[in-house]
Amino acid sequence: MKVKLLQFGDLHMDAPFTSLSGVEGGPSRRRQELKQALARLMDLAEREKPDMVLVCGDLYEHGYTGKSSIYYICDQFRRIPEIPVLIIPGNHDPKLPGSYYSDHSWPSNVHILGNGDIFEAVGTGAKVYGGMDGGPVDPAFINILMHHGTLDMQFSPDAFGPISGKHAEALGFDYCALGHFHSRIMGAGAGGIFYNAGSPEPLGFDEEGEHGAILAVIEKEPGGKAVINADFISICTRRFINLTVDVTGCCTNEQAEAFIAGEMENAGRKCDLFRIRLQGRIPAGVVIDTAQVVQDLADRAFLLRIIDDTVPDYDLSEISREKSLRGLFVRKMLERASRSDDETNGLVMQALFYGLEAIDEGKVCI
């Protein structure tokens, strides 16, 4: 027995992309790119001809998606009329009275599985389960579980759909197609049966790296152990990239920009989204104008954000030994910082540097 499947999930069609509200046309452009991602996934299905396509939840955003997007999704699935498309609802696209899963007319090759529903892929020896209800599975089949939720993680009581990997394996599942988290999982669990493609397009700076889908072939002799061969295929248009750039010694915006531009070029492309944290020591009294840096380097990224965590280049240990008001101020502030938690410590140190600047320069540049 052998079955070939294409797995993806968490497309979040019509996501609002509120984090891009400051970028002209950014939210609408990214929403259009989610549509293009689905089209590329169907291109992949047409090319690879899997026995089924598994959509592991959060296909669209229940609170934002209109009928036009649902018609678009259906048109894409109609491109592969001979390939079953199996969908499980997620927490962003629940099957509720009046929802598109309940009331819309989906193409004949689309099957929306609820917990306890089973789809048998004729000619492959595979059964796909929309949840773990029903007890142990038949080892004479390739048994595939689709699940949208958390796996083997300790979460608060309101965590969405937590399951135990040991329990799923004990029930006899050969492959578990996961959704909900937007990061990739390849062969997790004691038996190596848990796979999550992540989101086809990244949705935020906590979703770094390549994003796409999984193409897997599962082979099994009746009653035997399944052999899984799975490949991740990147299809994303853009990537979110977090960088830390050391600008120690920079005295001008232009010097800092040279460092930043070099790191951006090494790490990504002009179509990517960058969040850059500046670190290091710069001469006292020097201020890097991050707004101007963003403006000057805007053509090097789809989105650029800069966080300035640099500190003035003071030798605090030496200053604290001075027999002066300046030395007393530094000693007291360092003592206060040593008794503070991490968050308060950061504020105290910021106040310390502002105070030193005021003492030395007669003013503070913020």
**Interatomic CA distance for residues 182 and 10, integer angstroms:** 7
> Which pLDDT score, from 0 to 100, does residue 154 have?
59
> Which pLDDT score, from 0 to 100, does residue 81 have?
98
Domains of the chain: 2-234 (3.60.21.10), 240-361 (no CATH)
| Closest residue by Cα to residue 34 from 4, 7, 72, 1 | 72
Helix 67-78 vs helix 26-48: crossing angle, to nearest 10: 20
> Which pLDDT score, from 0 to 100, does residue 333 have?
87
> Which pLDDT score, from 0 to 100, does residue 107 have?
98
> Which pLDDT score, from 0 to 100, does residue 22 have?
66
The DSSP letter of residue 320 is H
What predicted TM-score, i.e. pTM, was given to this entire model?
Answer: 0.87
**Interatomic CA distance for residues 244 and 238, integer angstroms:** 20
> Which pLDDT score, from 0 to 100, does residue 366 have?
61
| 247-271 burial code (b ≥16 CB/10 A, e <16) | beebeebeebbebbeebbeeebeee
Cα dihedral sign, 113-117-121-126: positive
- The one-letter amino acid code at 158 reads D
> Which pLDDT score, from 0 to 100, does residue 163 have?
84
**Interatomic CA distance for residues 13 and 33, integer angstroms:** 9
| 123-136 burial code (b ≥16 CB/10 A, e <16) | ebbbbbbbbbeeee
- Beta-strand ranges (E) seen in the chain are 2-8, 52-55, 85-87, 110-112, 118-121, 126-129, 142-148, 175-179, 185-188, 194-196, 212-219, 227-234, 240-246, 273-279, 281-282, 303-308, 311-312
Give one word for 216, left, alpha or beta, with left for phi > 0 and alpha for psi -120 to 50: beta
Longest pairwise C-alpha distance within the chain: 87
Give one word for 285, left, alpha or beta, with left for phi > 0 and alpha for psi -120 to 50: left
Write out the chain's pLDDT in tens, 366 residues. 999 999 999 999 999 988 786 677 788 999 999 999 999 999 999 999 999 999 999 999 999 999 999 999 999 999 999 999 999 999 999 999 999 999 999 999 999 999 889 999 989 999 999 988 867 999 999 999 999 998 876 555 566 788 888 999 999 999 999 999 999 999 999 999 999 999 999 999 999 999 999 999 999 998 899 999 999 999 999 999 999 999 999 999 999 999 999 999 999 999 999 999 999 988 877 889 999 999 999 999 999 999 999 988 878 888 888 888 888 888 988 888 888 887 788 788 888 888 877 887 766 666
